[in-house]
């Protein structure tokens, strides 16, 4: 007598496996195109035999690491490979010979991104500084909330004008303001 009332399928449906194989084939075809383009940029002839370090899956895995670990795009890798040829007339022995160049390219890209980010932040700061100040009512309400709370605030947080705005609108009492200002 069979006690297992639920029958589990032994395999995933064939359709899902076929879709995964098609995706893998598409990725491999794109990488193959990129790999040939890289080899051409490095000065290898299209039909020539490659040195041992450029053959097989280890070279391909190494190049994929430049993309995944260093964050370099395919275009950036090819550009860097062309740049190396100007300094070194012979093609590199293998992908490891290009590691330093790729690391430097990634560092330069990161520095450019950091510079661009800091200049955007500086522009935002300048823009905020050039905006007109809030109206007197908003200023009085904002600082009155601070004075009426029990949170710490520095004595020089606001000036006598702001004190006058808060008192004139009845948002704080003179006693509370003296108490909070430490007088």
- The predicted-structure confidence for 156-178, as pLDDT tens digits, reads as follows 888 889 899 999 999 999 999 88
Mean pLDDT of the chain: 81
- Identify which of 51, 35, 58 has the alpha carbon closest to the alpha carbon of residue 90: 51
- Identify which of 181, 153, 154 has the alpha carbon closest to the alpha carbon of residue 167: 181
Task: Provide the residue ranges of all domains of the chain, joining segments of one domain with +.
Answer: 14-122, 136-181
pLDDT digits (tens, 9 = 90+) for 101-154: 999 998 998 888 888 777 767 666 666 665 556 788 888 888 898 889 888 878
Is residue 20 predicted with pLDDT exceeding 60? no
Q: Cα angle at 74 between 69 and 76, to 5 degrees? A: 85
Is residue 25 predicted with pLDDT exceeding 80? no
């Amino acid at each position: 007598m069979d006690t297992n009332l639920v029958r589990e399928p032994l395999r995933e449906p064939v359709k899902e496996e076929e879709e995964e194989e098609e995706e893998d084939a598409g990725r491999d075809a794109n990488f193959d195109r990129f790999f040939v383009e890289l080899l051409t940029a490095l000065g290898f002839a299209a039909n020539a035999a490659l040195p041992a370090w450029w053959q097989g899956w280890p070279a391909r895995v190494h190049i994929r690491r430049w993309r995944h670990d260093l964050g370099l795009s395919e275009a950036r890798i090819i550009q860097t490979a062309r740049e190396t040829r100007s300094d070194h007339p012979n093609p590199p022995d293998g992908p490891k010979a290009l590691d330093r160049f790729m690391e430097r390219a990634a560092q330069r890209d990161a520095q450019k991104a950091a510079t661009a980010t800091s200049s955007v932040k500086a522009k935002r700061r300048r823009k905020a500084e050039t905006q007109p100040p809030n109206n007197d009512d908003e200023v009085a309400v904002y600082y009155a909330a601070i004075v009426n709370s029990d949170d710490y605030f520095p004595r020089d947080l606001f000036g006598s004008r702001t004190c006058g705005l808060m008192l004139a609108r009845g948002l704080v009492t003179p006693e509370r303001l003296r108490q909070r200002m430490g007088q």
